[in-house]
């Protein structure tokens, strides 16, 4: 029976597989877990046919996400029948019985237990019962477990905030993640410094409700204080801010971003709807005019910015007129791409009990309409940059059949680039965009 913390020097290293579904916060957590496992004598080796440990970080924000998580757990449990399986994430908090039904051997770590992962690793996980004795609501401090020091990708994800204290009527995340809690500013800066020391040129700053960063700290600070701290404490690094709620953009934050090229010109705004009545029923704390003023300010101060939006369709009570309002709102906003998804009723949320459900076939049709609109908006945006020079983070080299690698510009353009050398991975280099096709953007390195 293997014990995680007792690998003898010189003995073969234990092998682990890590899997992640869902948001960038989940990805950041798996990066941290990977580092912990390596410190405890594991090697993360997905080519190993008989790993000693399989870890899955799940998602359940929609039925589709929960289904993917459930199927992955079942498949891996059957494939690695002799391996210890550890399952964490939102599904583990909300539906632990669903997991044990699929895999009776799984060690299920709810949110509170996941925050204490280092302590759990110090024990013999083969003898630890499922750990769900404390609900997510009991999480009161940002866990020391999430100091990111490495990443499996070319850019690193730095989780600085967790949980959400606002209860949108459709959202299960506050139940799954608990209240908002923030990493201390000096710890966030030190984590970013470590990442740059290890060769990362871009760090994506993530959180469940990133705009709420610092409100729970003493003394209370704001997101712009974090951004300013990162800029001064980690010079030479490029930072990308993940989703920020419309109401959380302050004048100070926008001014800070517009004045500093080290902050990516990329804004992802979870707007959810373009109809004020639907926003009210969603318990969203703003109206569409606030979002329109915000996007106008962004484009005024940062002309080449890329703005994306989350849009939910099929929310209870969404009529044809409501949907048309959303389409017109999107066009007025000037946004450049959409993340569109249908309403998915979540047990324990207010929206589950709302009347006037939208039939699934109508919701699916509306999803298609908005995804087509997103393609049009994205194509128009991309074509603006043909022939222009931009800075791109090199994410891969020679992965395409034609030998092209991939780079990501600060304003969120994924470019396939020829003639890249391995030494350029994780580095930010000047590139020129040559062509936009139906499938991809082509470019080349530029002096």
Tens of pLDDT, residues 273-324: 999 999 999 999 999 999 999 999 999 999 999 999 999 999 999 999 999 9
The answer as to whether 2 is a domain residue is: no
The answer as to whether 9 is a domain residue is: no
Q: What is the pLDDT of residue 132?
A: 63
Quickly list DSSP for 224-253. Answer: HHHHHHHHHHSTT-EEEE----GGG--HHH
CATH code: domain of residue 279? 3.80.30.20
The answer as to whether 130 is a domain residue is: yes
**Do 117 and 20 share a structural domain?**
yes
Tens of pLDDT, residues 334-389: 999 999 999 999 989 999 999 999 999 999 999 999 999 999 999 999 999 999 99
Q: What is the dihedral of CA 158, 413, 286, 162, to 10 degrees?
A: -10
Q: How confident is the model at residue 124 (pLDDT cuts 50, 70, 90)?
A: low
**Do 279 and 227 share a structural domain?**
yes
Q: What is the pLDDT of residue 11?
A: 53
Q: How confident is the model at residue 116 (pLDDT cuts 50, 70, 90)?
A: confident
Backbone angles phi, psi at 101, to 5 degrees: -70, -35
Rounded distance between C-alpha atoms, residue 165 and residue 381, angstroms:
35
Rounded distance between C-alpha atoms, residue 398 and residue 404, angstroms:
5
Rounded distance between C-alpha atoms, residue 2 and residue 395, angstroms:
36
**Do 303 and 261 share a structural domain?**
yes
Q: How many CB atoms lie within 10 A of CB 140?
A: 10
Q: How confident is the model at residue 118 (pLDDT cuts 50, 70, 90)?
A: confident
> Within 13 Å of residue 128, how many CA atoms lie on the same side as its CB?
23
By three-state DSSP, how is residue 304 classified?
coil
The angle at the Cα of 257, spanning 253 to 260, to the nearest 5 degrees, equals: 140
Domain tally, the chain: 3
Q: How confident is the model at residue 146 (pLDDT cuts 50, 70, 90)?
A: confident
Q: Residue 416 is inside which H or E element, if any? A: strand 414-418
Q: How confident is the model at residue 130 (pLDDT cuts 50, 70, 90)?
A: low
**Do 211 and 266 share a structural domain?**
yes
By three-state DSSP, how is residue 45 classified?
coil
The answer as to whether 363 is a domain residue is: yes
**Do 404 and 372 share a structural domain?**
no
Q: Residue 18 is inside which H or E element, if any? A: strand 14-20
- Give the number of residues written for the chain: 447
**Do 186 and 312 share a structural domain?**
yes
- Encode 165-174: b = buried (16+ Cβ within 10 Å), e = exposed: ebebbbbbbb
Q: How confident is the model at residue 152 (pLDDT cuts 50, 70, 90)?
A: confident
**Do 150 and 286 share a structural domain?**
yes
Do the beta carbons of residue 287 and residue 296 sit within 8 Å?
no
Give the rounded percent of residues in the chain with a pLDDT score beyond 70.
94
Tens of pLDDT, residues 49-67: 999 999 999 999 998 999 9
Domain that holds residue 66: 14-134
**Do 374 and 252 share a structural domain?**
yes
In terms of pTM, does the model score above 0.85?
yes
**Do 210 and 77 share a structural domain?**
no
Who wins on pLDDT, 153 or 427?
427
Tell me: pLDDT of 1 over 70: no
The answer as to whether 178 is a domain residue is: yes
Q: What is the pLDDT of residue 128?
A: 54
Span 148-167, average pLDDT? 91
**Do 399 and 373 share a structural domain?**
no
CATH code: domain of residue 123? 3.40.50.280
Tens of pLDDT, residues 29-53: 999 999 888 888 899 988 899 999 9
**Do 202 and 110 share a structural domain?**
no
């Amino acid at each position: 029976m293997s014990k995680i913390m007792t690998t003898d020097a010189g003995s073969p290293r234990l092998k682990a597989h890590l899997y992640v579904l869902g948001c960038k916060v989940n990805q950041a957590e798996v990066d941290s877990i990977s580092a912990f496992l390596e410190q405890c004598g594991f090697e993360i080796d997905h080519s190993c046919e008989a790993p000693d440990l399989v870890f899955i970080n799940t998602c359940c924000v929609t039925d589709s996400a929960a289904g993917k998580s459930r199927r992955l757990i079942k498949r891996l449990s059957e494939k690695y029948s002799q391996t210890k399986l550890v399952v964490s994430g939102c599904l583990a908090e909300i539906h632990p019985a669903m997991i044990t039904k699929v895999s009776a051997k799984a060690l299920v770590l709810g949110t509170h237990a996941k925050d204490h992962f280092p302590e759990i690793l110090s024990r013999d996980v083969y003898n630890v019962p499922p750990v769900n004795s404390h609900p997510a609501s009991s999480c009161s401090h940002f866990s020391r477990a999430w100091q990111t020091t490495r990443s499996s990708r070319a850019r690193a994800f730095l989780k600085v905030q967790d949980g959400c204290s606002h209860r949108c009527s459709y959202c299960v995340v506050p139940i799954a993640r608990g209240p908002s809690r923030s990493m201390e500013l000096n710890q966030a800066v030190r984590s970013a410094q470590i990442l740059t020391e290890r060769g990362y040129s871009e760090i994506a700053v993530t959180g469940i409700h990133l705009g709420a960063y610092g409100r729970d700290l003493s003394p209370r600070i704001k997101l712009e204080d974090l951004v300013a701290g990162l800029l001064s404490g980690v010079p030479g690094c490029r930072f990308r801010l993940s989703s920020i709620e419309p109401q959380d953009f302050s004048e100070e934050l926008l001014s800070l971003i517009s004045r500093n090229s080290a902050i990516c010109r990329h804004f992802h705004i979870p707007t959810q709807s373009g109809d004020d009545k639907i926003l009210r029923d969603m318990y969203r704390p703003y109206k569409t005019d606030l979002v329109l003023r915000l996007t106008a300010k962004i484009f005024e101060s940062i002309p080449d910015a890329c703005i994306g939006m989350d849009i939910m369709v099929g929310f209870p009570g969404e009529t044809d007129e409501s949907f048309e309002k959303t389409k017109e709102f999107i066009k007025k906003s000037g946004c450049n791409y959409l993340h569109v998804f249908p309403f998915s009723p979540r047990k324990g949320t207010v929206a589950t009990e709302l009347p006037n459900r939208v039939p699934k076939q109508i919701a699916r049709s509306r999803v298609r309409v908005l995804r087509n609109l997103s393609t049009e908006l994205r194509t128009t945006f991309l074509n603006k940059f043909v022939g222009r020079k931009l800075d791109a983070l090199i994410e891969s080299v020679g992965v395409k059949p034609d030998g092209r690698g991939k780079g990501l510009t600060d304003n969120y353009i994924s470019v396939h680039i020829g003639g890249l050398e391995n030494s350029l991975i994780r580095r930010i280099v000047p590139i020129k965009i040559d062509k936009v096709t139906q499938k991809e953007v082509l470019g080349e390195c530029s002096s």
